[in-house]
Amino acid sequence: GESVGLHLPTLSVQEGDNSIINCAYSNSASDYFIWYKQESGKGPQFIIDIRSNMDKRQGQRVTVLLNKTVKHLSLQIAATQPGDSAVYFCAEKDQAGTALIFGKGTTLSVSS
């Protein structure tokens, strides 16, 4: 079946460090992946997305890496700031192509 998951439920880093949040997916036919950030009491906020014909995509301070061989997705945050503290979800387009399926989330805590 379809499932998207994350390796670690929590990640604690120091301000200024680089953070890496990982996600494993099971549907090898998935052609679209996306990362969301969710702050307490708010809805998921788009960070960055990537299609399966790419291995890497960069945004402002964030990079998403896609390894289709091992069905692994990661989000790298450079120079992590306290404002980056949130729950991070990866999601993939489902087999029908009309819904995003979310993983369980990683809580990132940044201490200064």
Partner 1 sequence: EPEVTQTPSHQVTQMGQEVILRCVPISNHLYFYWYRQILGQKVEFLVSFYNNEISEKSEIFDDQFSVERPDGSNFTLKIRSTKLEDSAMYFCASSEGTGSEKLFFGSGTQLSVL
Smallest gap, in angstroms, from Cβ of residue 14 to partner 1? 25
Applying CB under 8 A, the span of 13-21, 64-72, 73-81, 103-111 interacting with partner 1 comes to: 103-111
46 phi, psi to nearest 5 deg: -60, 135
CB 25 within 8 A of CB 48: no
Nearest to partner 1 of 42, 70 (CB atom): 42
Residue 7: which region, alpha, beta or left (left: phi > 0; alpha: psi -120 to 50)?
Answer: alpha
Q: Which residues bind partner 1 (CB under 8 A)?
A: 32, 34, 36, 38, 41-46, 49, 89, 91, 93-94, 96-105
